[in-house]
Amino acid sequence: MSGSAIRPTPPVTLVIFGATGDLTRRLLIPAIVNLARGGLVGDDLHILGLGIEPGGTDMLLERLDTFLATLDGIVEDDAWKRLRQRISYISGDFSGDAIYEDVGRYLDKSPTGNAAFYFAVPPQFFGSIVEKLAEHKLTVEKPGAFRRIAIEKPFGTDLASAKALNARILARVSETQVFRLDHFLGKETVQNIMTARFANMMIESLWNSNYIDHVQVSAAEIVDVGTRGKFFDATGALRDMVPNHLFQLLAMVAMEPPNSFSAEAIRNEKSKLLQALRIYTPEEAAAHSVRGVYTGGTLEGKAIPAYLETKDVSPDSTTETYVALKLYADTWRWAGVPFYIRTGKAMKARDTEIVVTFRPVPFAQFRETDVNHNMPPNRLIIQVQPDEGLSMEISIKAPGLSVDTVPVSLDFRYGDRFDIGKMTGYESLLYDLFIGDQTLFQRADGIEAGWAAVQPFLDLWASGGKPDPYAPGSPGPASADALIAKDGRRWHELGTSGEKKG
Ligand code: BG6
């Protein structure tokens, strides 16, 4: 997310651990092809795929070709044809030494020695791969030759494990070499939050507890757990989505203005905000949270099994597929403003959005007149997906002789104004990894602050109780409505932003 003019990336070898996996073919390779199409990576980008699956470069290329053939127009694209010639594959055991020696030999032959090691592997390998790379001196940077590591989520499973993983990694490489990914930060609208706030006086000047009543951050999904039972049952909606994706959205919305557009200035402010999230006592955690689990039913016309009957899910599991939390950021700006966040599977709509509700006007002039004064509070809705955009809800006078105030929505959809093409969301993340811009990557202190804020909920739920049921295709459990209703507020209806009001 460079503040300066876009330039092609330097020569680099992208070394992918887990090259035969889903992430590589579905997201990484298509994103690199998109970058190549735009001239942002050149013929000096090489990819060295590593995997435990036996086979050579032809095996990997064949698999990539087969998958890419299912995507629109990539296999025939010149950019892919050229990139394909610069892909190699080495098979081996990530816990042995041979594969690291092979990687060393490969990098010794590369013109600059620049390398980015991408961990597209299950999290239990993260620490040991960094140690092996360091043992084989592959993480040593030399003047003019960078060595970076890119790590996918989940980064830890709680506060203690996240701290331990950070310590293990930072004992071998410096923070400037670590790029902890959160793919939400690759989404265009998420990056736009900073522009919306800091390039617009009329937004940022109202962005505080004097004018804002509350903020809602939602990431609702229609998909159920499906074939991901093993992963999901050990993880749950809270760990899967909150300390990472939802907190990244929250940090972008609520951080103080950074004093420059540098990665460190921005990450300082994000970390400060996450560190200000109130750490609840067990009683507060219970009062400010709801967990849910979907029952069996129909979803978009298809029958789906209850979560508890899903393959690889324990029948007496207490893992949540939905979570709603009420949080506070204890800062001068946000004193007393609740942040309601929620996420879940098998819900009514796919809808990731941030809804900022402003306070009511201070004085109701129309109260003793015949004027229809239907004046709901102003809202600013940042629609992250689908249909990325921004809406502002305001009250106006309906045309006619009488004065009727009606709420309307001013809507901006990215797709109406720009050709947003078919991006995977990984383009900007990979580009930034190659040019060394850490703005969109999480720093150790930010990760730990996120886990610290969710730890009371993890502890509470580990101590007993069960999630509340909700029907698939619904907006979540009734208890989540009650959580917000007791404050006299309600959730923004999922799947409705952008609709014309009034
Ligand atoms: C992943 C979670 O990190 O994000 C998934 O593990 C979730 O459970 C996904 O479905 C959501 O991402 P997106 O980009 O599809 O909203």
For the chain, the structural domain boundaries read: 12-152, 185-485
From 184, 233, 320, 345, mutation site for ligand 1 pocket: most ligand atoms within 8 A of C-beta: 184
Looking at residue 14, its pLDDT comes to 98
Topology (CATH level 3) of domain 12-152: Rossmann fold (3.40.50)
Single pTM value for the model: 0.95
Best residue among 155, 189, 223, 241 to mutate for probing ligand 1, ranked by most atoms within 8 Å of CB: 241
236 burial class (0-12, 13-18, 19+ CB within 10 angstroms)?
buried
How far apart are the C-alpha atoms of 309 and 139, rounded to whole Å?
45
* Residue 31 tokens, joined: 């994103």
CA distance 470 to 109: 57
Give the chain's residues under pLDDT 70: 1-5, 372, 498-502
Q: What is the pLDDT of residue 422?
A: 76
From CA 484, how far away is CA 324, in angstroms rounded? 9
Catalytic residues: 245
- From the number of C-beta atoms within 10 Å of its C-beta (0-12, 13-18, 19+), residue 416 rates as exposed
Task: Give one word for 142, left, alpha or beta, with left for phi > 0 and alpha for psi -120 to 50.
Answer: beta
Quote the pLDDT of residue 111.
84
**211, 297 in Cβ contact below 8 A?**
no
For residue 467, how many C-alpha atoms fall within 13 Å in the half-sphere facing its CB?
A: 29
Determine the pLDDT at residue 71: 86
**Calpha distance 145→420 (Å, rounded):** 34
Distance, CA 132 to ligand 1 centroid (Å)?
Answer: 29
For residue 84, the CA-to-ligand 1 centroid distance in Å is: 28
Please tell me the distance between residue 184's alpha carbon and the centre of ligand 1 in angstroms. 8
Residue nearest to atom 9 of ligand 1 (CA): 241
The minimum-distance atom of ligand 1 relative to the CA of 244 is 3
Residue nearest to atom 15 of ligand 1 (CA): 221
Residue with tokens 């092609």: 8
Reported as type and span, the H/E element at residue 354 is strand 351-358
Mapped to the 3 state alphabet, what secondary structure does 319-342 carry? CCCEEEEEEEECCCCCCCCEEEEE
Task: Residue 473: name the closest of 388, 349, 384, 359 by CA.
Answer: 349
Cα 187 to averaged position of ligand 1 atoms, centre (Å): 12
Pocket test for ligand 1, best of 225, 245, 352, 427 (most atoms within 8 A of CB): 245
Evaluate whether 12-152 and 185-485 have a shared fold.
no
Quote the longest CA-to-CA distance of the chain: 83
Radius of gyration of the chain (CA): 24
User: Which positions ≥6 away from 193 have C-beta within 8 Å?
Assistant: 249, 252, 253, 354, 382
Return left, alpha or beta for 336; rule: phi > 0 is left, psi -120 to 50 is alpha, else beta: left
Say what the pLDDT of residue 498 is. Answer: 55
Q: Which long-range contacts (CB under 8 A, 24 or more apart) does 135-139 make?
A: 135/100, 136/97, 136/100, 136/101, 136/103, 136/104, 137/104, 138/100, 138/103, 138/104, 138/107, 139/172, 139/173, 139/177
CB-based pocket (< 6 A), ligand 1:
153, 183, 221, 240, 352
- Distance (Å, rounded) from C-alpha 243 to C-alpha 254? 15
CA distance 343 to 357: 19
pLDDT in tens, 151-186: 999 999 999 999 999 999 999 999 999 999 999 999
In this predicted structure, what is the pLDDT of residue 502?
Answer: 31
- Which CA distances in Å does 34 have to 40, 74, 441? 9, 9, 21
Peptide bond into 386 cis (omega under 30): yes
* Contact by Cβ (8 Å): 135, 103: no
- Options 3.30.360.10, 3.40.720.10, 3.30.470.10, 3.20.20.370; CATH for 185-485 is 3.30.360.10
- Position 486 scores a pLDDT of 97
